[in-house]
Amino acid sequence: MAEFVLKFMDAQGRVRQQVDTAVSEAELRERYSQRGLHVYSVKPRGGVAVLQSRLARPKKLNLAQFLIFNQQFITLVRAGLPILKSLDLLSTSLTSPKLAEHIRRAQENVKSGALLSEAFRAQGVFPPIYTTTIMAGEKSGSLVEVIERYLSYQKLALAVRKKILVSLLYPSLLIVLVICLVIFLITYVVPNFAELYASMQAELPPLTQMLIAVGMATKDYLLLLIALAAGGGFLIALWLRSESAGAHFDRLKLRLPLFGAIWIKYQVAQFSRVLSTLLVGGIPLLQALETSGASLGNRLLQTAIATAAKLVKEGRPLSAGLEETGIVPRLAIEMIQVGESTGALPAMLNSVAEFFEEDVNTRLAAALSLIEPAIMLMMGVFVAFVLVSLYLPIFTLAEKIH
């Protein structure tokens, strides 16, 4: 058993912090969540444990394989096969060994008397929205229907994510090519010109001397510079896994010109779609808020959703709770307010997700259309600087000859 420092919100809405023991962080989170408490963070107690926790990468599922498994699972269940038999068949036919192992363990838990949602949650790898959706299906007796809704949500989310990644592919490739060009010029072209000028014993202008000094130093210490960059990147990544550093970084992302607004709208779209899926599946609003907040990749927005959930628990409307956070865009709040007043909150949340996803795609395309020429311009300026610096002594020598 290990000791963890737990930060959570109690039944009275007060934020508390205490030390508790558990086998793992996931087990402790599950224990407190079952008691109806909102868990903000769980940190191992002690320096070595903290380092191990930050070094450990969270387990991830192959999303494509996971969706295929769910599609096959609901097909078997709809055909009349018992859940245990369906899990047994799928655990032996899946092409992903890791997923098959998790399904096999879940089947053993179900065989021991656990609910299907509890069996999946105990594996620690399945998304919270999935296990919560399964739990809603078990309570309502519509397991197949809620899994189908989850599949629809994941397919839409995956399509949006792929569209964004495709949009970022060309600028990323362009940046890599620019970096390679800079390294080639600095480490190969500049040192060759330096040897040429050294053999000619030519007097070099200050600009050329500076460029050659940088080029020779980079060539001599290239491996050291790469090692320092890799080590620095590793330490920064390690630092960003802490709660305080992650919150500062998330705040910085929101303040970025162009991309800050795009990022918050993408997160709001994801939150709205998850919340809509859970509400349609019959999950109570407070529990749905907790699950949808945990699915976000921004700590500030997670805290904002937790604050909104606290206000909802006190009897305030969801729109009012989100408005007090000061992070959620005004348009989303107004649309949610309309959904609450008309009794069609899940449908309106789905509309919020669709609207903001389309807005994200449009804004991202516009931003990238500005960034690509900027990258080309910076590359052109740098190449021009290198060429002028390297050929300036040749022009000077030609004037002396004449």
Shared domain for 247 and 391, answered yes or no, is: yes
Q: Output the CA–CA distances (angstroms, integers) from residue 211 to 46, 180, 222, 386, 398, in the order listed.
A: 49, 17, 16, 8, 21
H helix runs in 201-298, sequence order: 206-220, 222-240, 243-255, 259-280, 285-294
With a CB cutoff of 8 Å and minimum separation 6, the contacts of 102 are 61, 123, 125, 126
How large is the average pLDDT for residues 324-348? 88
- Would residue 155 count as lying in a domain? yes
- Per-residue pLDDT at 365: 81
With a CB cutoff of 8 Å and minimum separation 6, the contacts of 217 are none
Shared domain for 35 and 171, answered yes or no, is: no
Shared domain for 183 and 273, answered yes or no, is: yes
Q: Is the pTM of this model over 0.85?
A: no
Spatial distance between the Cα atoms of 350 and 140, rounded to a whole number of angstroms: 22
Rounded to an integer, what is the distance from CA 54 to the centroid of its chain? 16
Shared domain for 319 and 360, answered yes or no, is: yes
Shared domain for 261 and 352, answered yes or no, is: yes
Shared domain for 69 and 218, answered yes or no, is: no
pLDDT in tens, 142-180: 788 888 888 887 887 788 778 878 878 888 888 888 888
Q: Which residue has the higher pLDDT, 400 or 332?
A: 332
Shared domain for 22 and 95, answered yes or no, is: no
Q: Is the pLDDT of residue 53 over 60?
A: no
- Per-residue pLDDT at 155: 82
Give the chain's domain count: 3
Shared domain for 217 and 351, answered yes or no, is: yes
Confidence grade of residue 24 (pLDDT, cut at 50, 70, 90):
low
Helix axes 63-78, 143-184, angle to 10 degrees: 170
Q: What is the CATH number of the domain that holds 343?
A: 1.20.81.30
How large is the average pLDDT for residues 266-286? 84
Pick the last residue of a domain from 31, 55, 79. 55
pLDDT in tens, 64-113: 788 888 888 888 888 888 888 888 888 888 888 888 888 888 888 888 88
Buried/exposed 267-288: b ≥16 CB within 10 Å, e otherwise: bbbbbbbbbbbbbbbbbeeebb
Domain span at 10: 2-55
pLDDT in tens, 375-402: 888 888 888 888 888 877 777 666 655 5
- Would residue 282 count as lying in a domain? yes
With a CB cutoff of 8 Å and minimum separation 6, the contacts of 272 are 332, 349, 350, 352, 353, 356
